[in-house]
C-alpha cells in the first residue's frame, strides 16, 4: 500500500525539509520507488538535492505530475521541484477553495506508482499545508528540542483533525520526531519529557541529534546519508527510516 507523508510544522527551522529529504533518500536506498514533493515556496527541498527549481509549478500550470518529476542522483528517488516563479508561489500560497480542491485531486490522482511520497510543507497552516495533508495518509511533525517547541502546536493539531474529518480513514498521525537533540543540555531532556507526556506513543524512539554535517550536506545538494554516511545524523535518520518501515 502506498504511503504518503506530509512533513509539517508551522514553525520554521525545525528540520522539516532536512527530514523530508533524508527520509526520501533513505526509502529510495532501501529499494522503494520514492517521490519527494516540494510544496514550500522557499524550494529548499529542491536545492537540497542539487536540483534546479522549475519555471512553472505543475499544480499551477496543470502539467501532469509524471511529466514534471525529475530523477535525482539516488536510484529510485524522484522529485517534483519547487517553482522559482514568484507569481506561481503566490498562487500556490493564496489559492481559492476551488483551486485548492483541484490541486488536491491532481496530487492524489497523479502520484500513483510510488511506494512512498513525502511532501515538504511550508512553515504555515495555510492552504498549501492543507492541500498536502488532504493528499496524505500520514503526517510527521518534526519538533526542535527548544523552549518554545510546543508553541502553536494546538493550532497545527486542529488543522490536522479538520482534514481527518473531511477525509475519514485516510489521514492519520504518523508521529512526532525530535530534532536538533543535544544530549548535553538539560533543556533538551525537559522538552523530550514534555513532548512524550503530551503525545505519548506517537513520538518516535529515534531522535535526530545536532550535527553540523547535516547543515553541510544541504549546502552540497546532498542528503546527509549521501554526504556523510557515517555521521551521527545519518545513522539517526537511517534508524528513523527503519522505525517507519516497521509500521507497515
Do 33 and 2 contact (CB within 8 A), yes or no? no
86 has a pLDDT exceeding 60: no
For range 3-14, the mean pLDDT? 94
pLDDT digits (tens, 9 = 90+) for 101-112: 888 899 999 999
In this prediction the pTM is 0.94
Q: What's the chain's average pLDDT?
A: 91
Between helix 16-29 and helix 212-219 the angle, nearest 10°, is 80
Please tell me the predicted confidence (pLDDT) of residue 18: 97
30 has a pLDDT exceeding 90: yes
141 has a pLDDT exceeding 60: yes
Q: Kindly report the CATH number assigned to the domain that includes residue 183.
A: 3.40.50.300
Give the residue among 29, 119, 41 at the shortest CA–CA distance from 72: 29
Q: Which residues contact 39 (CB under 8 A, 6 or more apart)?
A: 82, 92, 119, 120, 121, 122, 128, 129, 131, 132
* Tally of structural domains, the chain: 1
Please tell me the predicted confidence (pLDDT) of residue 89: 62
Q: Which residues contact 162 (CB under 8 A, 6 or more apart)?
A: none
Range of the domain at 182: 3-245
Q: How many CA atoms lie within 13 A of 242 on its CB side?
A: 9
pLDDT digits (tens, 9 = 90+) for 172-224: 999 999 999 999 999 999 999 999 999 999 999 999 999 999 999 999 999 99
Amino acid at each position: 500500500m502506498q504511503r504518503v507523508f506530509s512533513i509539517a510544522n508551522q514553525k520554521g527551522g525545525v528540520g522539516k525539509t532536512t527530514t523530508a529529504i533524508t527520509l526520501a533518500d533513505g526509502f529510495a536506498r532501501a529499494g522503494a520507488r520514492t517521490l519527494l514533493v516540494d510544496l514550500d515556496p522557499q524550494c529548499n527541498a529542491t536545492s537540497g538535492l542539487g536540483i534546479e527549481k522549475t519555471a512553472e509549478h505543475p499544480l499551477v500550470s496543470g502539467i501532469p505530475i509524471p511529466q514534471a518529476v525529475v530523477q535525482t542522483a539516488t536510484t529510485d528517488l524522484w522529485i517534483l521541484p519547487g517553482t522559482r516563479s514568484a507569481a506561481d508561489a503566490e498562487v500556490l500560497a493564496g489559492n481559492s477553495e476551488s483551486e485548492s480542491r483541484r490541486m488536491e485531486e491532481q496530487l492524489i490522482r497523479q502520484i500513483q506508482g510510488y511506494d512512498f511520497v513525502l511532501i515538504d510543507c511550508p512553515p504555515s497552516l495555510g492552504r498549501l499545508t492543507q492541500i498536502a495533508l488532504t493528499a496524505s495518509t500520514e503526517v510527521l511533525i518534526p519538533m526542535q528540542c527548544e523552549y518554545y517547541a510546543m508553541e502553536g502546536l494546538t493550532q497545527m493539531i486542529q488543522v490536522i483533525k479538520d482534514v481527518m474529518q473531511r477525509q475519514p480513514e485516510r489521514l492519520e498521525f504518523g508521529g512526532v520526531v525530535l530534532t536538533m537533540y543535544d544530549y548535553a543540555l538539560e533543556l533538551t531532556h525537559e522538552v523530550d519529557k514534555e513532548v512524550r507526556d503530551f503525545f505519548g506513543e506517537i513520538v518516535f524512539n529515534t531522535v535526530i541529534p545536532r550535527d553540523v554535517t547535516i547543515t553541510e550536506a544541504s549546502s552540497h545538494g546532498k542528503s546527509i546519508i549521501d554526504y556523510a554516511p557515517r555521521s551521527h545524523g545519518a545513522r539517526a535518520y537511517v534508524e528513523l527510516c527503519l522505525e517507519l518501515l516497521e509500521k507497515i
